[in-house]
Structure 1
Amino acid sequence: MATAKKAPAKKAATKTADKAAAPKRAPNAAFSKPLTPSPLLAAVIGKDPLPRTEVTKKVWDYIKQHKLQDEANKRNINADAKLKPIFGKDQVTMFELTKLISNQLS
């Protein structure tokens, strides 16, 4: 006894069509405002004022360049001599990183 195949379910409208209809949001001015890093953070990213987004990118570049991500758990970041005063401990999670960096900006 052969079983009948079911017709494939109809696909919902594509997400790209939904995105085209949605209005674009304006970028938040707080993210693009240049902030001055503390002397501790300036040792890692430089002393020039940068927006928060660029500061985070530069810190991640430093972490990757110096291979500071924990090999066993990539969500953890091991502090070296420059990052330990910023972090306040030997290891932090990537979720703590933004908060710790924000404390070093003015």
Structure 2
Amino acid sequence: MKELKRLEPLQAATQFILKHYPNCQGALLAGSVVRGEATHTSDLDLVIFDDNFISSFRESLIEFGWAIEVFAHNLASYQAFFKSDCKRARPSLPRMISEGIILVDNG
């Protein structure tokens, strides 16, 4: 079976955001791809901020040749995750945001 060619990470992430979250206030590409630690099994970790989300959620999809993990937050819900992550000494979300590449920044 012929392997599908996948888009470059930044291109795939940008197209994914435009397709699924075109009105979000912010979006970041994070994770191993951004840190230069990606392997052939790596996924794209996307953090999405959209004030229209009622609550935070996470979803896994496959698009543009990539497994994509979406970490979705409204403009306040991420704060509880920050506190929880830091309290358990595993600051996953703060790390993703501090290392992430900004894809969308609408204020």
After TM superposition, the score normalised by the length of structure 2 is 0.23
Larger RCO (CA under 8 A, 6+ residues apart): 2
Structure showing greater Rg: 1
Larger helix proportion of the pair? 1
After TM superposition, the score normalised by the length of structure 1 is 0.24
Larger strand proportion of the pair? 2
